[in-house]
Amino acid sequence: MKNILLTLLALIIVSQLQAQTIELPNTVISVNYKYLNATDSDDAPVRVKQLEEAVSNYDNAELSELYDDEYDTYKVSFFIPEGKIVAAIDKNGKIIRTIEKYNNVRLPLAVMQAISNRYPNWAIVEDVYFIKYHCEADDLKKEYKVKIKNDNKIVTVRTNEKGDFI
């Protein structure tokens, strides 16, 4: 009798339990995953990340109707006051290459240390951050052009993201 009562009690409890439903966020598969992976950097300024995200999320549906078979790609420009990206995109919406330019971004620590070690007592006046991406080489080149000043002397130096002078 105890076994029957325990079994009934267990069935009642189990029948009252509901399965837990977990909704997963929408998954977006992007044709530009290589670009996203190449440009994903923790130390990149927010405005750079925002513009790169806009490029990767660009909907080429309208331009693909205007696509001319004479050229393999078409160029789309993205602008913000502090920078711009010119992207070459194919008819499927894949980013082939980009050229990016940003003015007066926060320099990485390695770049600031390299400049201060090589040019002590010099102040940074302005900088320009260049990024070049190409999908076939899976290549991303970052370069900083920094204008520094000491008294009346102004010098322009170029470094990569590691602080190596070019």
Neighbours of 58 (CB within 10 A): 17
111 found inside a domain: yes
Please say whether the dihedral angle defined by the alpha carbons of residues 25, 30, 35 and 37, taken in this order, is positive or negative: positive
The sign of the dihedral angle between the CA atoms of 44, 88, 130, 110 is positive
Number of folded domains that form the chain:
1
Is residue 146 domain-resident? yes
Residue 92 lies in a domain: yes
Whether residue 6 lies inside any domain: the answer is no
Alpha carbon distance 152, 78 (integer Å): 37
Q: Which residue did the predictor score with more confidence, 91 or 89?
A: 89
Digit-coded pLDDT (tens) for 11-27: 777 666 655 667 767 66
In a domain, residue 77? The reply is yes
Q: Please give the structure tokens belonging to residue 150.
A: 């000491």
**What is the C-alpha separation between 147 and 124, in angstroms, rounded?**
6
Domain assignment present for 2:
no
Amino acid present at 36? L
d(CA 131, CA 133): 7
- Tell me, yes or no, whether 14 lies in a domain: no
d(CA 28, CA 72): 25
Asked if residue 107 is part of any domain, the answer here is: yes
88 in Cβ contact with 141 (< 8 Å): no
pLDDT tens profile 114-165:
999 999 999 999 999 999 999 887 678 999 999 999 989 999 999 998 999 9
pTM: 0.73
- How confident is the model at residue 47, as a pLDDT? 84
Domain hosting 72: range is 29-160
